[in-house]
Amino acid sequence: MSSSSAASYRAVLQVPLAGRTFGAALVGRLSYGVVPLSLILAFTQATGSYGTAGGAMALFGLTSSLLSPIRARLIDRHGIRRVLPAMAVAYALSLTLIAVLTWRPGASGAVLWPLAGVAGALTPPLGPIMRTLWRDLLPEGPLLHRAYSLDTVAEELLYVTGPLIAGLVTGLAQPALGVVISAALVTAGSLALVTSPATRSRQVVGGPSVRGRAGALAGLGRPVLVTAGVGMCLGSLGLLMVAFAERHGQIAAVAWVEAALAAGSAVGGLAYGAVSWRLGLERRLPLLAAALGVCLVAAGFAPNLVVLSLLVGVAGLFLAPALTTAYLLADQSATADSRTQAGAWVNTAFNTGNSMGAASAGVLVGQLSLVACFATGALPALLGALAGLGRSRASAGTPSPSDASGATARS
């Protein structure tokens, strides 16, 4: 690897339209950090039932995650300016209706559940859209690599900041107001995004043929598989950190472990983007996933919360780089008319894996020792890494665009 001062993060934001477009997207994406906690608190307060609130959130999460590639395909097929405003307004209206119904106690789960499902189904794919626009705004090479790293780190920080905003709003007013704020953020960010000239340059290529869609998706196997494994690890880790803290009689200290993970991910993502890599994306992704898995196995042997925080922080160093690489590899695999959809598949893989990891950890805790639980939780990333490495070796005889030059990977 070699450093590159010519393609700094400042240089990324100084590209014409980059700062304006990225800022608009971040405003809208902040909604996704605020809305989960706001919704679950609003559902719980309005219905008085954790079961009802959990069911509504499950529907919201499932429709949001599983239908993401379909929404992204609409963007690719019909264009950002034609689809995003309608999608954002419909999503915001559904959130506003939920806020109205949960403003006071007494709401029925029979009404809230379908509304939560509808809201999730309408969630605008702002992350995949922004990553597609980065590809339009920047040339191939280190600058695009840094843009993707910056995007991933910023997204991670939004998911740290969002719950803090939701908690503050709940403390000062009530959780339904947080849902309204989420609706306002996604509307403002989406409308600001479509007014950027950058979206005008995103021409609609036309509806891809069945053969074209199959070709676009054919190269997504590796990033989707590895990202699903990383998501499962993170889902397991969230619950295992709580179990670890509880067994050490320091449940409140779990916040410090989560902070260490977020800090490690931010530092790792920024450092990763500041380097020009000679190792190709196909080989890089499984190695990053393997490093993450090994760190989580080691975390299971932590004697106390301080050591656990340090080890989880080290694991975090590989999180944002792994996600950044997966997004870059998906972009590299996609055709011009399928880039948003390709990024959405990576999102779906991570979110679905995260949910599966949390569910599996819930079953294992109490049945196995925490050491065994951490090792089992790390297994999906390690297996995904092995599969990814196997595919890399199998395709080693055919140079990819990222490897052909032997220098900087396509980013």
Q: Look-up: residue for tokens 């000062």? A: 172
- CA dist 359 and 353 (Å) reads 10
Which H helix or E strand runs over 138? none
Looking at residue 335, its pLDDT comes to: 80
- Measured CA to CA in angstroms, residue 81 lies from 7, 190, 197, 201 at distances of 30, 10, 10, 11
The alpha carbon torsion through 21, 23, 25, 28 (nearest 10 deg) reads -140
Question: Is residue 14 exposed (0-12), middle (13-18) or buried (19+ Cβ within 10 Å)?
Answer: exposed
- CA dist 328 and 152 (Å) reads 11
DSSP string of 355-398?
A: HHHHHHHHHHBTTB-HHHHHHHHHHHHHHHHHHHHHHHHHTTTS
Copy the structure tokens of residue 198: 């950058």
Helices (H), 195-304: 197-200, 210-218, 221-247, 254-273, 281-299
- CA dist 262 and 107 (Å) reads 35
- CATH numbers and ranges of domains, the chain: 18-204 (1.20.1250.20), 214-394 (1.20.1250.20)
Looking at residue 400, its pLDDT comes to: 41
Copy the structure tokens of residue 310: 């340090």
Residue 3 has what DSSP assignment?
E
- CA dist 328 and 148 (Å) reads 7
Looking at residue 201, its pLDDT comes to: 61
Question: Is residue 363 exposed (0-12), middle (13-18) or buried (19+ Cβ within 10 Å)?
Answer: exposed
Q: Determine contact, residues 410/287, Cβ cutoff 8 Å.
A: no
Our measurement of the distance from residue 249's CA atom to the centroid of its chain's CA atoms, rounded to an integer in Å, reads: 31
| pLDDT means over runs of 10, the chain (411 residues) | 57 91 96 92 88 86 91 92 96 96 89 94 94 88 89 90 89 92 97 92 50 54 90 90 87 84 92 86 92 95 94 95 92 82 90 87 87 94 83 50 33 32
- CA dist 121 and 176 (Å) reads 20
- CA dist 409 and 142 (Å) reads 8
pTM, two decimal places: 0.81
How does strand 2-3 pair with strand 275-276?
antiparallel
Q: Determine contact, residues 286/367, Cβ cutoff 8 Å.
A: no
- CA dist 344 and 193 (Å) reads 18
Q: Determine contact, residues 334/342, Cβ cutoff 8 Å.
A: yes
Q: Determine contact, residues 186/28, Cβ cutoff 8 Å.
A: yes
Q: Determine contact, residues 237/312, Cβ cutoff 8 Å.
A: yes
